[in-house]
Copies of this chain bind each other. A is one copy, B any other.
Amino acid sequence: MNAVIELLQNHRSIRKFKPDPLTPQQTEAIVTSAQMASTSSNVQAYTIIAVTDPAKKAELARLAGGQAYVEQCGLFLVFCADQYRLKLATEHNGEAFHQNTESFIVATVDAALAAQNAAVAAESLGFGICYIGGIRNNPGEVSSLLGLPELVYPVFGLCVGVPDQEPGIRPRMPREAVLHPDAYSEEAVREGIRAYDEITYAYYKERTGGRTLTTWSRGIADKHKQPVRAHIRPFLEARGFRLN
């Protein structure tokens, strides 16, 4: 154990912020850290939109499904998978640009690796963070608001700001269900779900003073018993992505 691992293992999402903005130096430290994350063959296939304009933050909070902390936080970063920059670079060299599901995965992963470095850097400076997948509720409107060109899509937002709450750490799935030595074990997964349901039942019960009596797997079932965000595939196609 060291101070870095302690920081990583003490992460919890913050959903209430003081309005203090970040200094330019703090934003720079966070973004430079993001940029130093690994990237597939150095393609760096992501773009970060740093939203500080109050009107845009308010609109993004609404588009994300009414998440007030998007508006409240000092800095809202939108991490985008960006194949447009690669297309410009390819055409700059007189070649036709090709893309498919593989390049979509590369760009999405590149955005996520950079974002997690940003999150860790922000937390090391004492800020709280919260990922906002809710911007995929209305990806077309978000893209228009941020002026995103074709072949760029907003993967998620990241709230960064001074925490105005002190939530506890949420227990994760038992390690045995997530980490498999040398081969996948379905038995370990089934046992992990069972054990984690007990853990989460007790956690929700305690946290809500007995009002919420449910389990992790029940929540997963409720989420996946119907399609979620079925508009994503048509949205991506409309933005020029070819998922073949």
Assess whether A23 is interfacial by the CB under 8 Å rule.
Answer: no
Contact stretch, chosen from A64-72, A84-92, A205-213: A84-92
Q: Are B131 and A38 in contact (CB under 8 A)?
A: yes
Chain B residues with CB below 8 A from A131, complex form: 38, 40, 113
Nearest chain-B residue to A184 (Cβ)? B147
Q: Are A223 and B37 in contact (CB under 8 A)?
A: no
Nearest CB in chain B: distance from A120 CB, A: 6
This chain: how many copies in the complex?
2
CA distance A218 to B103 in the complex (A): 17
A73-126 interface with B by 8 A CB criterion: 80, 84-103, 105-106, 108-109, 112-113, 115-117, 119-121, 124-125
Q: Are B100 and A230 in contact (CB under 8 A)?
A: yes
Closest 3 CB pairs of A and B: A112-B112, A4-B124, A93-B221
Partner of A221, one of B89, B101, B103, B244: B89
Chain B residues with CB below 8 A from A43, complex form: 220, 223
**A183 in contact with B116 given A85-B189, A223-B41 (CB within 8 Å):** no
CA distance A102 to B90 in the complex (A): 28
